[in-house]
Structure 1
């Protein structure tokens, strides 16, 4: 077990923060699934492209990873995000992401947000 996120995971955050939809979608396998609160599961490159190109409420921002745990092909990260929503609202939140890797590509991802819901 290690505490440094592997290259596909760190590269994902670099590309999403840069707004490089084509680049970040290319990090995922063709049949990847991404699950995120408030959305239907996104499947494959077409689903991911639709989400990152228009459905995602975030306009811009930056992720900072604070913790990572890696066990084989499973990766868990915690971090902070600061940015702006498409409607102009400032966003500042904590998150946890869980990834499954297939070699150097992401086959599964799920996201959780720290929010006072319960």
Structure 2
């Protein structure tokens, strides 16, 4: 199904960088699953909310999208982040995959970075 929306993904990064978390939460399905290699999966909007409000080590930064590709129900993004991680200045590359539900919300997200943990 071709229901992936690149504008939703762009909105995600804009909202994250602005720390507009309520806007971020509205993009995700209540049963969202967010996978990051080497870290526990985030499951459901309560876990997602806890992560962004209390557990996310990245702050005061900005994402730059280098490429964005849409196919079927998935938007793939390659980019860079620069900002603070646990109080130290960082810059790194990332690849994110957003898989959309039939309702047009993000149901799954996968993140890969060239850092151990974000």
User: Does TM, normalized by the shorter one, top 0.5?
Assistant: yes
Range with greater deviation from structure 2 (40-49 or 107-116): 107-116
What secondary structure, in the 3-state scheme, does the structure 2 residue paired with 1:30 have?
strand
TM-score, normalised to structure 2, is 0.86
How do 1:8-23 and structure 2 match up within 5 A? Answer: 8-23=8-23
Structure 1, gaps ≥5 residues long: none
1:37 deviates by: 3.1
Deviations 1:44-97 (A, max 9, x none): 1101001001111112200010011111111111001010123x2001000000
- Kindly tell me the number of residue pairs found equivalent between the two proteins: 111
Aligned-pair RMSD on alpha carbons? Answer: 1.6
TM-score, normalised to structure 1, is 0.86
4+ long deviations beyond 3 Å: none
Structure 2, gaps ≥5 residues long: none
